[in-house]
């Protein structure tokens, strides 16, 4: 590979929303770096980093990221942007969770045995969801019949929820897309949003050269810097999907 | 257990009407009208490619003739008609053995007919009929047989069916002499015991003569019901308007009256050929060919003797009586002269 | 590399420990692949026979279409089946979405061209003398089909085994139609995809080995059908 | 249902408009599948010949293993190849990860057992007389291989077409080894997976149709090799 | 173009030493020592399953004998040895035609030998040698042939190679009489023009006699180099310690000296059988069997006549001279008496 090419592993959400397709040409033009990315689950993205198959990571699973750095695989975790999670469900809200606080919502769902779709794939989203159960003091209902683990991507999971008329937690970006496919008249509606616990933080990680001598640390740093730069942050702020903002830049 | 076989001329086993068969655009069979009697044994004689196998396939209703109709016992029949399927069986020229044991090959036809009794005994009997030992052969696999053994297993698989019609396409092609005798006996027994009608194609005339009631000779798809005849193929040269000649390489010449239409092959019936020991002064219309006897065979039915005479590279057939043989001191190897008139020719 | 070794150990652990998730996936896989194989053999063998045995107009075109069907992407089949059995689809009433039956239907579509194409080719290669021999022994249409198929049984076996391998390893249909729902429609392959996506490569390898073991057991029992 | 119709329209649009992403994926698919087919035929035909032609000890066991290899899950192959060519793997130096060459290697492993197993079965069915005839005409070992393979060409064609269908439609290897990198290692199947994941079912169907079209063109050109 | 063929007794074409061949546990060939001379034409005669095809496969080096060695022109050779591969060719009993045109089938062997000149002319010539027309047949496909035509195409594919050794396994099994003559001629020409050594297995004795220098008779894997002999198979009954008898169904009895070891089959050499017209009063050690002549064939080489006598269901062979035939007034159909001494028997 050429020297000025950079390989990134990222989560599906950044790719599926089209953010990267929008952002990266700007980056390449301004830095002469060719950026290629592979989008996968967060877990696999971190694994690719650990195995030094990529040079840089763009992921959203803060606690896993911290562990990654602790183990000496990564360096320079830099917060770039966030969006938020929401809980959606059938418009008639059979379990009656609309507007409740997060822990009330989960308790209600459990007590009413309402169908809840979990991604169950260890993705950033799934990790967040598990965190919510934990903070509501409910043991993970792994073997409950009403707790459906799809092991698939967000949109597929939303589709399952729609087919089965159940609830699920999703990131806003995917929901916006889902809504647009349904012509703005999606059977599943937003029922809970805005809690600070629902924030979804994206960060760029470089790889620790002590673990991966071959990884292009300099170029990775350059990418990280660019994402955090005024220019990068402005571009992120301006990115819209179907007229709605998706990501809120928050680099320090 | 003797059955009473009635051979009625009115209702033959087979009646073929205006049969023509084509492969692609080539006509390989052309039969105006042919009847085969019930309980008869018919020999089918003809050179390679003359249409024997094709005719047998038609008689087995394994193929539909391109044109024409085949009546079986007075009824028009077509392939797969259930009324004939289990009655007519054909031993094909290249018999195929199923990838099973000999035993299973032989009972296959019975199983199709849902007959399940006494299988072992019947197989042993069928094998015995073709000279194979049950103990030695029943459990062998299809590929553990010599060529002639395979041929005989296939024959046994047909005999066990006790068919109404048994069509045999070169049944003794790779079979030894003793087994050929057994197959003859089995064929005759089939007729005697079950009233089976047989049609048998073979190049072994001696064997065929010893078994058939009569022969059909087939040439280029045309049937001659007089048995084997002498065929002289071209090229011919034109000698004058009315005669063609064929020059043999040793200098002898055959003169024949030219055909009225285009035709390429001459047939000289054996009854029109005479035999003598010395050339006579004759007119130009009588062919006199010198050659030597190569074989003398007994035709069982008629008790006459069929002699093959080699004239350079032609082999001609004449009929002889014991009397004639004694009078002329004939034996294989003896030099003889053949006579026939140049107008005693048929063209096809 | 180490995750491959780890995968081997994990595979043994999973099976011995009787891990419920693994065993339900094993069961789902066996059920669904058995169902789809039965269906595709039932439909594919006669079709293959007809296509290989008879000569008819347009046969060659049919073959080309069939061969093309060998390249139906599983996700495509999954989407198409989904379109029919989703609640808004024409067959939505049947409630087949996210069921093993739904997956089996999709997999049948996947396996059918394989069974049919290989059977047809094998039957086509049959000695012409076999056909004549069968007819001359008085075989009816059913006898002919059964005997011809039996004569080429090794070819049929190859068709079945190939189709089985395809069905056993496909992900797209199981994922799309089955939904990869844990304890219900999660098959081994969708589980592998999931674990791999999680970055749990060793688990992916382990599950892969479990699948291969199933295939091995099946093939070992079929090997008695083989030529000795 | 409507997304299927939409997919048809979209497929035509994609191809006519010359959409760069689509066309690079088409190219990648063709390149990688051609490469893996050449490799797997090159290795599989001789192996299949040996396995079908000769009798040797352990042949049956080899067949069982081969048949089991027909059930290698693509993700499993993907993981195994990844283990070798990842930067820390033994072949990491070669830089094959996230390249088409890497995918082709994986797909070769996928196609090899198919080619080999079907070829072996076809060769096994060869008339014993053919072998004898060839030897008796003075054929050497190479002549025998070439002539036998040519005699059963329809069987070989079936093997190739089946393997091609498998290679063309696989996702697991392309995804794991290729990384689905846009304009580089994105093949049509990984693109379908991506679009489907995004919920763009119509796009998935459209790309599926493009893939089927490729298969159709290939099979149409191969159909001239078929029995007339 | 006449080659000078030297037949040296010292260095025969083939020398087989202590050959045994098994299929599974069954021994099917057991040859102590056999030499076949260069440029000779050897006939191979024997019943089905006697081992003819097996022997020919060994001679073709298409198979390795289970035990023993085969020398070709003094050198020990094994299958696939390149020195012999292109020199020895075998026409198998069931010739396989490649799934190609007739033309391509015939040139296959030439292509292997990388010969590319004059292919059309050579194919036309080879086809002519077996009586097939180039125009009509060259472009046909393998399945568009009759049984005999296919057999002849296979023969042409061997002839075109001008081999040093030509092994023919039942070359005329399904071939018509005229073509059988052509194949004989082609075989003789091969020897004449190219010095080819031929070994030919056939059940058609008449044809075989007309072409061979000498015959090997093979029975249950054992070779008798005197040509065809009379074989009498069991069951036999014990009459006393020293004699066995076989009862024919018509009441006639054959008495034979018992074998010293266990053996099941008796061989009575034709030279030991005499023929007369009437029974004589003789002692019990002379068998007198009545039967009738079924055929008389000319053995070309020796100019003697081979007569087949049918004794109930046995067929025995005796040699006759023209003289004898005249003296006794013999002809096919004539009733005769056969004599042979009960000690003139060999057991195997
Ligand atoms: N499938 C075919 N396609 C084209 N021509 C064919 C086909 N089968 C046979 N023929 C031709 O039809 C003619 C008759 O063939 P058929 O097999 O009936 O001859 P046959 O009398 O049985 O000859 P043989 O003595 O060699 O067995 C031959 O000229 C042969 O070349
Ligand atoms: N593959 C085999 N496995 C077992 N036995 C076999 C096999 N091939 C042939 N035999 C047996 O070996 C013996 C010799 O067979 P071979 O083919 O040499 O006989 P043959 O003299 O050519 O007979 P035919 O006149 O019938 O062609 C026979 O008894 C046969 O049954
Ligand atoms: Mg024929
Ligand atoms: Mg033989």
Quote the pLDDT of residue E1: 36
Nearest residue (CA) to ligand 2, atom 5: B144
Q: Report the distance separating Cα C140 and Cα E141, nearest Å.
A: 29
Name the token pair of B336: 């003889």
What value does the mean pLDDT of chain E take?
87
Ligand 2 neighbour E48 (Cβ under 6 A): yes
DSSP string, D118-135: HHHHHHHTS-HHHHHHHH
Name the token pair of E284: 């019990």
CB contact (8 A) between residue B294 and residue E206: yes
Å from CA of D132 to ligand 4 middle: 13
| CB within 8 Å of E194: residues ≥ 6 apart | E3, E162, E163, E164
Quote the pLDDT of residue E8: 45
E92, E98, E104, E109 alpha-carbon torsion, rounded to 10°? -40
Asked if residue B93 has pLDDT above 60, the reply is yes
Name the token pair of B130: 């073709």
User: E64 in helix, strand or coil?
Assistant: coil
| CB within 8 Å of C57: residues ≥ 6 apart | none
DSSP string, C100-165: HHHHHHHHHHHHHHHHHHHHHHHHHTS-HHHHHHHHHTT--HHHHHHHHHHHTHHHHHHHHHHHHH
What value does the mean pLDDT of chain D take?
91
Percent of chain C at pLDDT above 70?
Answer: 99
Name the token pair of A15: 């790719």
Q: Do chains A and C touch (3 or more CB pairs under 8 A)?
A: yes
Strands E26-36 and E14-23: antiparallel
Quote the pLDDT of residue E280: 80
Domain ranges of chain C: 28-188
D196 touches chain E (CB under 8 A): no
Residue B7: pLDDT band (50, 70, 90) is: very low
Q: By C-alpha distance, which of C2, C1, C32, C3 is closest to C200?
A: C3
| CB within 8 Å of B204: residues ≥ 6 apart | B172, B180, E204
Q: Average pLDDT for residues D159-185, to the nearest whole number?
A: 93
Name the token pair of A225: 């810097």
Q: By C-alpha distance, which of D114, D98, D110, D107 is closest to D48?
A: D114
Residues in E 146-165 with any Cβ partner in B closer than 8 A: 146-149, 152
Residue D30: pLDDT band (50, 70, 90) is: very high
More confident residue, B126 or C179: B126
Angle at E163 between CA E159 and CA E165, to 5 degrees: 115
Å from CA of A99 to ligand 2 middle: 91
Q: Average pLDDT for residues B285-298, to the nearest whole number?
A: 84
Ligand 1 neighbour B257 (Cβ under 6 A): no
C158 touches chain D (CB under 8 A): yes
Write out the residues of chain B at the interface with chain C, using a CB-CB cutoff of 8 A.
57, 60, 62, 79-80, 82, 85-92, 94-96, 98-99, 108-109, 112-113, 157-158, 161, 167
Q: Report the distance separating Cα D170 and Cα D174, nearest Å.
A: 7
Question: What are the Cα distances from residue C180, in Å, to A118, D150, D151, D210?
Answer: 11, 45, 46, 27
Cβ–Cβ < 8 Å for C82, C176: yes
| CB within 8 Å of A19: residues ≥ 6 apart | A236, A239, A246, A247
Residues on chain A touching D194 (C-beta within 8 angstroms): 15-16, 39
Domain ranges of chain B: 2-96+151-224, 230-341
Residues on chain B touching C143 (C-beta within 8 angstroms): 112
Name the token pair of D206: 């459209």
Q: Average pLDDT for residues E260-286, to the nearest whole number?
A: 80
Asked if residue B2 has pLDDT above 50, the reply is no
Asked if residue B4 has pLDDT above 50, the reply is no
Question: Which region among A220-234, B142-156, C111-125, E334-348 has the lowest average model confidence (pLDDT)?
Answer: E334-348
DSSP D14: H
Please give the number of the atom of ligand 2 that sits closest to the Cα of E52: 21
Asked if residue E5 has pLDDT above 50, the reply is no
Asked if residue E284 has pLDDT above 80, the reply is no
Fold of E2-96+151-224: Rossmann fold (3.40.50)
Q: Average pLDDT for residues C174-182, to the nearest whole number?
A: 90
Mutation for C interface: D70, D188, D190, D200, most C CBs within 10 A: D70
Please give the number of the atom of ligand 2 that sits closest to the Cα of E221: 14
Name the token pair of A136: 């509501």
Nearest residue (CA) to ligand 2, atom 28: E49
**Residue B317 pairs with which residues in a beta bridge?**
B308
| CB within 8 Å of B23: residues ≥ 6 apart | E144
CB contact (8 A) between residue B295 and residue E297: yes
Quote the pLDDT of residue B130: 94
Residues on chain E touching D136 (C-beta within 8 angstroms): 60, 62, 89-92, 167
Assign domain E230-341 to its CATH architecture. Answer: Beta Barrel (2.40)
Which of A148-152, B190-194, E283-287, E321-325 shows the highest mean pLDDT?
B190-194
Ligand 2 neighbour E51 (Cβ under 6 A): yes
Q: By C-alpha distance, which of C156, C160, C166 is closest to C77?
A: C166
DSSP A187: S
Per-residue pLDDT tens over the stretch E202-212: 998 778 877 88
CB atoms within 10 A of CB B10: 5
Residue C208: pLDDT band (50, 70, 90) is: very high
Quote the pLDDT of residue B226: 65
Cβ–Cβ < 8 Å for C107, C170: yes
Cβ–Cβ < 8 Å for E224, E267: yes
In SS3 terms, chain B reads as: CCCCCCCCCCCCCEEEEEEEEEECCEEEEEEEEEEECCCCEEEEECCCCCCHHHHHHHHCCCCCCCEEEEEECCEECCCCCHHHHCCEEEECCCCCCCCCEHHHHHHHHHHHCCCCCCHHHHHHHHHHHCCCCHHHHCCCECCCCCHHHHHHHHHHHHHCCCCCEEEEECCCCCCCHHHHHHHHHHHHHHHHHHCCEEEEECCCHHHHHCCCCEEEEEECCEEECCCCCEEEECCCEEEECCEEEEECCCCCEEEEECCCCCCCEEEECHHHCEEECCCCCCCCCEEEEEEEEEEEEEECCCCEEEEEEEECCEEEEEEECHHHHHHHCCCCCCEEEEEEECCCCEEC
Residue D228: pLDDT band (50, 70, 90) is: low
Per-residue pLDDT tens over the stretch E70-100: 999 999 988 888 788 889 999 999 889 999 9
Residue E228: pLDDT band (50, 70, 90) is: low
Quote the pLDDT of residue D105: 97
Percent of chain E at pLDDT above 90?
Answer: 46
Asked if residue E7 has pLDDT above 80, the reply is no
| CB within 8 Å of E190: residues ≥ 6 apart | E159, E162, E163, E166, E196, E198
Q: Which chains touch E (3 or more CB pairs under 8 A)?
A: B, D
Question: Which region among A81-95, B214-228, E55-69 has the lowest average model confidence (pLDDT)?
Answer: B214-228
Residue B301: pLDDT band (50, 70, 90) is: low
Q: Report the distance separating Cα A165 and Cα A177, nearest Å.
A: 19
What value does the mean pLDDT of chain A take?
90
**Residue E34 pairs with which residues in a beta bridge?**
E16
Residues on chain C touching B161 (C-beta within 8 angstroms): 137-138
D46 touches chain C (CB under 8 A): no
Å from CA of B29 to ligand 1 middle: 10
Asked if residue E282 has pLDDT above 80, the reply is no
Helix residue spans in chain A (DSSP H):
12-16, 19-31, 42-50, 62-70, 102-112, 124-135, 154-164, 172-181, 217-228, 230-238
Quote the pLDDT of residue A202: 93
Stretches in chain A below the pLDDT threshold 50: 1
Asked if residue E348 has pLDDT above 80, the reply is no
Q: Report the distance separating Cα E314 and Cα E328, nearest Å.
A: 22
Q: Do chains A and B touch (3 or more CB pairs under 8 A)?
A: no
Cis-peptide, bond into residue B235, ω within 30° of zero = yes
| CB within 8 Å of B94: residues ≥ 6 apart | C129, E94, E147
Cβ–Cβ < 8 Å for B316, B230: yes
Asked if residue C228 has pLDDT above 60, the reply is no
Quote the pLDDT of residue B1: 36
Å from CA of B65 to ligand 3 middle: 16
Cβ–Cβ < 8 Å for A60, A200: yes
Q: Would you mind telling me the total number of residues written for chain D in this entry?
A: 228
Angle at C107 between CA C101 and CA C112, to 5 degrees: 125
CATH number attached to the domain at C28-188: 1.10.3720.10
Main-chain dihedrals φ then ψ at residue C24, nearest 5 degrees = -65, -35
Q: By C-alpha distance, which of B164, B180, B79, B166 is closest to B129?
A: B180
DSSP D174: I
Question: Which region among B338-347, C52-61, E61-70 has the lowest average model confidence (pLDDT)?
Answer: B338-347
What value does the mean pLDDT of chain B take?
87
Asked if residue E9 has pLDDT above 60, the reply is no
């Amino acid at each position: 590979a050429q020297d000025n090419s950079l390989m990134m592993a990222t989560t599906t959400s950044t790719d599926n929303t089209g953010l990267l397709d929008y952002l990266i040409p700007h980056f390449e033009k301004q830095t002469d770096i060719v950026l290629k990315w592979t989008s996968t689950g967060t877990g696999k993205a971190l694994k690719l980093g650990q195995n030094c198959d990529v040079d840089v990571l763009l992921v959203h699973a803060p606690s896993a990221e911290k562990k990654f750095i602790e183990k000496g695989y990564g360096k320079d975790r830099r917060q770039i942007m966030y969006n938020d999670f929401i809980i959606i469900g059938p418009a008639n809200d059979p379990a009656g969770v609309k507007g409740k606080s997060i822990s009330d919502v989960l308790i209600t769902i459990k007590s009413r045995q309402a169908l809840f779709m979990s991604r169950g794939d260890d993705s950033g989203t799934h990790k967040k969801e598990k965190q919510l159960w934990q903070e509501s003091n409910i043991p993970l209902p792994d073997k409950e019949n009403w707790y459906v683990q799809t092991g698939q991507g967000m949109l597929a999971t939303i589709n399952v929820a729609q087919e089965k008329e159940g609830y699920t937690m999703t990131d806003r970006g995917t929901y916006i897309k889902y809504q647009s496919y349904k012509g703005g008249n999606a059977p599943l509606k937003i029922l809970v949003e805005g809690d600070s616990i629902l924030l979804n933080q994206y960060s760029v990680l470089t790889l620790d050269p002590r673990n991966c001598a071959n990884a292009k640390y300099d170029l990775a740093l350059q990418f990280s810097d660019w994402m955090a730069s005024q220019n990068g942050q402005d571009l992120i702020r301006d990115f819209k999907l179907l007229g709605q903002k998706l990501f809120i830049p928050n680099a320090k | 257990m003797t059955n009473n076989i009635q051979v009625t001329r009115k209702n033959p086993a087979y009646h073929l009407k205006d049969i023509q068969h084509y492969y692609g655009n080539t006509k390989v069979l052309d039969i105006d009208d042919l009847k085969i009697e019930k309980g008869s044994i018919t020999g089918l004689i003809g050179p390679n490619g003359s249409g024997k196998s094709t005719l047998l396939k038609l008689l087995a209703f394994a193929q539909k003739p391109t044109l024409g109709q085949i009546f079986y016992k007075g009824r028009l029949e077509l392939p797969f008609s259930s009324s004939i399927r289990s009655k007519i069986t054909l031993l094909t020229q290249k018999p195929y053995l199923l990838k099973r044991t000999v035993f299973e090959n032989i009972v296959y036809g019975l199983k199709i007919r849902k007959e399940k009794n006494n299988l072992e005994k019947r197989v042993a009997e069928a094998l015995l009929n073709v000279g194979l030992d049950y103990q030695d052969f029943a459990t062998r696999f299809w590929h553990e047989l010599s060529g002639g053994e395979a041929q005989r297993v296939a024959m046994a698989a047909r005999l066990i069916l006790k068919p109404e019609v048994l069509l045999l396409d070169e049944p003794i092609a790779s079979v030894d002499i003793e087994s050929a005798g057994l197959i003859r006996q089995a064929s005759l027994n089939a007729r005697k015991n079950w009233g089976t009608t047989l049609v048998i194609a073979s190049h072994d005339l001696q064997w065929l003569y010893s078994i058939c009631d009569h022969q059909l000779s087939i040439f280029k798809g045309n049937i001659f019901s007089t048995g084997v005849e002498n065929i002289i193929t071209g090229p011919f040269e034109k000698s004058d308007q009315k005669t063609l000649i064929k020059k043999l390489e040793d200098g002898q010449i055959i003169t024949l009256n030219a055909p009225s239409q285009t035709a390429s092959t001459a047939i000289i019936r054996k009854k029109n050929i005479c035999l003598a020991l010395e050339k006579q002064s004759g007119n130009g219309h009588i062919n006199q060919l010198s050659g030597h006897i190569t074989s003398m065979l007994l035709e069982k039915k008629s008790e006459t003797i069929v002699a093959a005479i080699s004239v350079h590279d032609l082999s001609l057939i004449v009929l002889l009586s014991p009397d004639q043989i004694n009078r002329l001191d004939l034996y294989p190897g003896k030099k003889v002269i053949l006579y026939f008139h140049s107008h005693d020719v048929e063209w096809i | 590399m180490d995750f491959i070794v780890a995968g081997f150990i994990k595979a043994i652990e999973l099976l011995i420990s009787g891990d419920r998730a693994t065993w339900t996936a094993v069961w789902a896989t066996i059920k669904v692949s058995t169902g789809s194989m039965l269906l595709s053999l039932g439909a594919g063998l006669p079709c293959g026979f007809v296509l290989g045995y008879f000569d008819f107009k347009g046969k060659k075109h049919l073959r080309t279409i069939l061969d093309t069907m060998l390249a139906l992407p599983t996700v495509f089949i999954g989407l198409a089946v989904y379109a029919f059995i989703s609640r808004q689809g024409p067959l939505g009433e049947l409630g087949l979405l996210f069921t093993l039956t739904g997956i089996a239907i999709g997999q049948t579509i996947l396996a059918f061209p394989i069974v049919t194409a290989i059977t047809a080719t094998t039957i086509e290669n049959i000695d012409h003398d076999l056909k004549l021999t069968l007819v001359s022994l008085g075989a009816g249409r059913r006898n002919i089909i059964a005997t011809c198929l039996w004569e080429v049984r090794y070819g049929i076996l190859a068709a079945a085994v190939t189709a089985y391998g395809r069905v056993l390893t496909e992900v797209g249909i199981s994922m799309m139609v089955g939904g990869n729902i844990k304890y219900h429609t999660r098959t081994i392959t969708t589980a592998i995809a999931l674990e791999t996506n999680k970055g749990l490569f060793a688990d992916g390898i382990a599950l892969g080995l479990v699948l291969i073991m199933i295939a091995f057991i099946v093939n070992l029992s079929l090997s008695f059908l083989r030529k000795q």
